[in-house]
Chain A
Amino acid sequence: MTTVSAAVPSAAVAASAVSGKRRLIGFVLLLAIVCALPFLVSNYRTFQFTLVLIYAIALLGLNILTGYNGQISLGHGAFYAIGAYVAAILMDKFGVPYWLTVPVAGVVCLGAGFLFGLPALRLEGLYLALATFALGVAMPQLLKYKHLEHWTGGVQGIVIIKPDPPFGLPISQDQWLYFFCLAIMLLMFALGANLLRGRVGRALIAIRDHPVAAEAMGVNNALYKSLAFGVSAMYTGVAGALGAIAVQFVAPDSFSIFLSITFVVGIVIGGLASIAGAVYGAIFIQFVPNIADQISKAAPWAIYGVFLIGFMYAMPVGVAGAIRIAWARIKRRTTGGGESQTS
């Protein structure tokens, strides 16, 4: 199967190799800052940054489905909830160590997402939005269901114990959790980048942009679409498990439809079909409500709404998109209108 991208002129290869090294140095620097953060700020801030990491994983999951594959989901909070409850039940009822619950949650959600993706194949656009919206709305009710109460703790929820740093490391629980989540996030982002920049990613994008042509070119639409659902749910489920461990509590009220809507807001603001967008979106959904609350005590969510609309005016393709556009503009100016590469 021939690759979609055209042959690249050699000069550009050399140029990208140089910029590749610069990118690597930049990445290493960023990583160093990110690792130093928990030691520079209070435990409370570290906790908030941990939440940002967790949301970033969830948003990347949703982005795989909606940004790259064009299947809109207004109910991803449900998969986050499933992941969280899997982790909580395993830790609370079966004494499973916290680090093991995360991959288990991921596998469970992979299956759940795939199963949901199968009937969803018949639904497009608006109708898929409704179906996922329904899933998001129904999840709290399901979690409260009295015949499941024995497992889920019903409305009372489940309290979880926060893990201690292993090997007696001299860091606080919050700092350890931050690094644990950071490690998982980097792993999942690396996996995701690999997936999305390769053949699978191109197939997903092809299905998004022109499903008929993609099918005609030999892409198995049904398989890829269901897989996209499964993988996307897996990412969000992993985030849910980490979220449960960080917050140390799960209850049906933690996973309302508003969570699902917040995720959609996150990927759009961060930038659809962008891996870095997941991080920008996570920063937005974690911190902007707090900022809005500081600006106006009387109607903080009105301020949040204004932020949403303002961001969409200024950056209709999200923060990542805006950065891409700005970067391209700078590059065009510095290379004097030479070859313009698509990144």
Chain B
Amino acid sequence: MDAFLNQVFAGLATGGIYASVALALVMIYQATHLVNFAQGEIAMFSTYIAWTLIEAGVPYWPAFFLTVAIAFTLGVLIERIIVRPVEQAPVLSVVVVFIGLLVIFNSLAGWIYTYTIKVFPSPFPKQPVQFGGHSFSAHELGAVGVTLVVLGLLYAFFRYTPLGLAMRAAAQNPESSRLVGIRVGWMLALGWGLAAAIGAIAGMMVAPTVYLDPNMMAGILLYAFAAALVGGVDNPGGAVLGGFIVGVLENLLGTYVIGNELKLSVALVLIISVLVIRPSGLFGKVHVSRV
């Protein structure tokens, strides 16, 4: 029983990682109805920027918020300069642009920072937290907390602010939104900026656990993608929950069911089965399209 609980808690910890990246993916989907595969690499690159600031002597929290601001600006710039020209192109062409961004950021990070792993500091205390006989890493708890705070802020933003409403409208129905005076172009840019900012936060929360290197996000992206879809790609809360589910599932499968060699395949089969049964994800809205 003890070992089982340990695996569940370890799964929740990795799940927290998936949840935060899934949140960024959902964010950009809500804003643009596109899944940006380069999200992970932009997050990784932002984390390197934070690392550079911290190495230069900037204390943690100022560096954190400065990085979030820089990431936001980066996201907006990418949308305006790189994505805008291909907005009208077929979906797959835009996907290829995203793939281009992915390899560019990955390659640049490797060139500027080399591939040796770097230690990224955590703002949370180093001593483990004792609770009910189990010890938890303070950082992992803190990271989950930060993810939930970001989730809450996002929820409030979309639900209760006019800007959030305008963004959702722009993504769902650009033509009508323009007719009511919403600057659709800037809404998209804003969406990208927010997604990049969330990605940066995710990266900074993830890096202390997995160490900072250019390929840091590669393994996480698939799980985050799966988590976002399992939870329902238009539901931020669902994405976070999906992240935890995927994390725990992966650990339990690997330990008890199939061994680590096939846990990835089995986890994915399970996720796809979920999607086959409930194509919109567990908590997603079922879309009915009019003919």
Does A305 sit within 8 A of B, measured CB to CB?
yes
Given the complex, which residues of A lie within 8 Å of B262, measured CB to CB? 141-142, 145
In whole angstroms, how far apart are the Cα atoms of A146 and B92 in the complex? 37
User: Across the interface, do A268 and B104 meet the contact criterion of CB distance under 8 Å?
Assistant: no
User: Across the interface, do A268 and B92 meet the contact criterion of CB distance under 8 Å?
Assistant: yes
Are A123 and B276 CB-contacts (below 8 A) given A265-B96, A302-B111, A309-B82?
A: yes
User: Across the interface, do B264 and A302 meet the contact criterion of CB distance under 8 Å?
Assistant: no
Q: Quick one: closest A residue to B265, CB to CB?
A: A138
Contact of B108 among A264, A302, A317 (CB under 8 A): A302
Does A261 sit within 8 A of B, measured CB to CB?
yes
User: Across the interface, do A145 and B261 meet the contact criterion of CB distance under 8 Å?
Assistant: yes
In whole angstroms, how far apart are the Cα atoms of A247 and B95 in the complex? 30
In whole angstroms, how far apart are the Cα atoms of A267 and B261 in the complex? 32
Does B268 sit within 8 A of A, measured CB to CB?
yes
In whole angstroms, how far apart are the Cα atoms of A275 and B233 in the complex? 34
In whole angstroms, how far apart are the Cα atoms of A138 and B250 in the complex? 13
Q: Encode contact with A along B74-103: 1 for CB under 8 Å, 0 otherwise.
A: 000000001001101110111111011111
Given the complex, which residues of A lie within 8 Å of B261, measured CB to CB? 141, 144-146
Does B282 sit within 8 A of A, measured CB to CB?
no
Are A301 and B97 CB-contacts (below 8 A) given A66-B92, A134-B271, A316-B89?
A: no
Given the complex, which residues of A lie within 8 Å of B222, measured CB to CB? 133-134, 137
Interface of B is mostly: helix
Interface of A is mostly: helix
Contact of A130 among B90, B97, B229 (CB under 8 A): B229
User: Across the interface, do A301 and B96 meet the contact criterion of CB distance under 8 Å?
Assistant: no
User: Across the interface, do A306 and B279 meet the contact criterion of CB distance under 8 Å?
Assistant: no
Given the complex, which residues of B lie within 8 Å of A265, measured CB to CB? 96, 99
Does B72 sit within 8 A of A, measured CB to CB?
no
Does A299 sit within 8 A of B, measured CB to CB?
yes
Given the complex, which residues of B lie within 8 Å of A268, measured CB to CB? 92-93, 95-96
Q: Quick one: closest A residue to B289, CB to CB?
A: A212
In whole angstroms, how far apart are the Cα atoms of A129 and B101 in the complex? 19
Given the complex, which residues of A lie within 8 Å of B276, measured CB to CB? 119, 122-123
Does A313 sit within 8 A of B, measured CB to CB?
yes
Given the complex, which residues of B lie within 8 Å of A99, measured CB to CB? none
In whole angstroms, how far apart are the Cα atoms of A142 and B263 in the complex? 10
User: Across the interface, do B226 and A305 meet the contact criterion of CB distance under 8 Å?
Assistant: no
Interface residues on B, range: 35 or more
Does A29 sit within 8 A of B, measured CB to CB?
no
Q: Encode contact with B along A303-325: 1 for CB under 8 Å, 0 otherwise.
A: 01111110111001110000000
User: Across the interface, do A309 and B229 meet the contact criterion of CB distance under 8 Å?
Assistant: no
Q: Quick one: closest A residue to B273, CB to CB?
A: A119
User: Across the interface, do A141 and B93 meet the contact criterion of CB distance under 8 Å?
Assistant: no
In whole angstroms, how far apart are the Cα atoms of A191 and B162 in the complex? 56
Q: Quick one: closest B residue to A310, CB to CB?
A: B100
User: Across the interface, do B111 and A264 meet the contact criterion of CB distance under 8 Å?
Assistant: no
Q: Encode contact with B along A290-301: 1 for CB under 8 Å, 0 otherwise.
A: 000000001111
Does A269 sit within 8 A of B, measured CB to CB?
yes
User: Across the interface, do B226 and A302 meet the contact criterion of CB distance under 8 Å?
Assistant: no
User: Across the interface, do B111 and A309 meet the contact criterion of CB distance under 8 Å?
Assistant: no
User: Across the interface, do A298 and B111 meet the contact criterion of CB distance under 8 Å?
Assistant: yes
Are A308 and B92 CB-contacts (below 8 A) given A130-B226, A137-B222, A302-B107?
A: no
In whole angstroms, how far apart are the Cα atoms of A72 and B233 in the complex? 17
In whole angstroms, how far apart are the Cα atoms of A74 and B111 in the complex? 28
Given the complex, which residues of A lie within 8 Å of B89, measured CB to CB? 312, 316-317
Q: What would be 24 A-B contacts, judged by CB atoms less than 8 Å apart?
A: A119-B272, A119-B276, A127-B229, A130-B225, A131-B275, A133-B222, A134-B222, A134-B272, A135-B268, A138-B265, A141-B265, A146-B261, A264-B95, A265-B99, A267-B92, A272-B92, A299-B108, A305-B104, A306-B100, A308-B100, A309-B97, A312-B86, A312-B89, A317-B90
The 8 closest A-B pairs by CB, nearest first: A308-B100, A305-B104, A316-B89, A134-B268, A302-B107, A301-B107, A138-B265, A305-B100
